[in-house]
Amino acid sequence: MVLYKASLHSNFEQVDIKVKEALVKIEDSIPSMDGTTLFKFNFMMRELLNNAVEHGNRMDYEKSVFIQINYHPPYIEFLFEDEGRGIDPEVISCERIGEHDERNSEIEKAYFSIEDNATLETLKFAKAIDFEGDIAVRHRGFETIKQLNFSLMIEGRKLKCTYDLSKEV
Amino acid sequence: MDQLKLIIKEGLTANNVSAYKNQFEHILKEADGYTGMVLDLCNTENIDSVGVTFVIGLYKRMKGLEKSFKVIGASNDVQMLFRLMKLDAFFEMSE
């Protein structure tokens, strides 16, 4: 069952609007949903939409981000897609350490590797020099999503984030 | 001892943080004689890592000025998130 489907222009105001809309749809469709789980969805959606807006679409207002939320009990599935380049194919199975890359300057201070299956489980940021820097922020966000018991799968410009509601107490 | 109290009325989210930063700088310029900062999150349920980074920035700024920093009014969910992000190691927070 599709709970919510929308597209948004690439700015943070749009992210805020769409996340609030999505949360209302989820609450209306699944009245038994508890507040903490909704909070997790709220945080996760903001993180992944912000990422798509800022890093996928490079804050280009004319580029869209697409979100769809599917419910197949006990799983709730969040699908995100931006209009960016996707994860650089050269980066897959490639390690870069402190390398300045004109094409992808946000990796300038980070070491990361992405395995061929491109799941965020294997997306490792081994080092983020700047505690407050862009890479550290995104690392913290992704790591937190994992710790909130979401599973993540990336395929190019698409990201699927799944949550098993049966695991909630 | 006087504490500088900041109350977040909208979300701690990417769409609001720029405005918060501007307001914070303005407040800091005007403030004097305070011993620390209290950040009140009683109205905050919407949060993302940009907002968290803003909080970290407040903490580091206060630390640089050798002033105290703590968070009050944080819901259990917000506290849970801050603990996951290991922020409880840096500053005090309470409901």
Closest approach of chain B CAs to the CA of A83, in angstroms?
20
What pLDDT was estimated at residue A81? 95
Q: Does B52 touch chain A (CB under 8 A)?
A: yes
Question: How, if at all, do strands B3-7 and B36-40 pair?
Answer: parallel
The encoded tokens of residue A150 equal 């979401």
- Residue whose entry in the numeric block shows the structure tokens 């980066």: A91
Would you say residue A102 has pLDDT above 50? no
* Overall average pLDDT of the A86-98 stretch: 43
A134-147 and B49-64 helices cross at what angle (nearest 10)? 120
The rounded Cα A104 to chain-centroid distance in angstroms is: 18
Nearest CB partner across the interface for A12, out of B15, B57, B80 = B15
What pLDDT was estimated at residue A100? 42
pLDDT single digits (tens) A103-149: 444 433 333 333 333 333 334 333 333 444 555 656 677 789 999 99
What pLDDT was estimated at residue A93? 34
Neighbours of A20 (CB within 10 A): 14
* Overall average pLDDT of the A24-53 stretch: 95
Regions of chain B where pLDDT drops below 70: 1
Neighbours of A61 (CB within 10 A): 11
Which secondary-structure segment (H or E) carries B79? helix B76-84
Q: What is the DSSP string of A66-87?
A: EEEEEEETTEEEEEEE-SS--S
pLDDT single digits (tens) A43-90: 999 999 999 999 889 999 999 999 999 999 999 999 999 998 765 444
What pLDDT was estimated at residue A80? 96
Would you say residue A1 has pLDDT above 80? yes
What pLDDT was estimated at residue A7? 97
Report the distance separating Cα A137 and Cα A122, nearest Å: 18
What pLDDT was estimated at residue B30? 84
pLDDT single digits (tens) A138-155: 667 778 999 999 998 888
Report the distance separating Cα B94 and Cα B40, nearest Å: 10
Q: Does B1 touch chain A (CB under 8 A)?
A: no
What are the helix (H) ranges across chain A?
12-29, 35-51, 134-147
Would you say residue A14 has pLDDT above 70? yes
Query: Structure pTM?
Result: 0.82
Q: Return the bridge partners of A113, or none.
A: A124
Write out chain A residues lying below 8 Å of B46, CB-based.
16, 19-20, 42, 46
Instruction: Write down the ipTM of this complex.
Output: 0.93
Q: Which of A51, A73, A30, A11 lies closest to A140 in space, CA to CA?
A: A51
The rounded Cα A70 to chain-centroid distance in angstroms is: 16
Q: Which of A118, A16, A22, A121 lies closest to B50 in space, CA to CA?
A: A16
Entry field: residues in chain B: 95
Nearest CA in chain A to B56: A132
- At B46 the three-state DSSP class reads coil
* B18-21: long-range contacts, CB 8 A cutoff, minimum separation 24: B20/B54, B21/B54, B21/B57
What pLDDT was estimated at residue A137? 59
What pLDDT was estimated at residue A65? 97
Would you say residue A91 has pLDDT above 70? no
Q: Which of A47, A83, A65 lies closest to B51 in space, CA to CA?
A: A47
The encoded tokens of residue A138 equal 């995104």
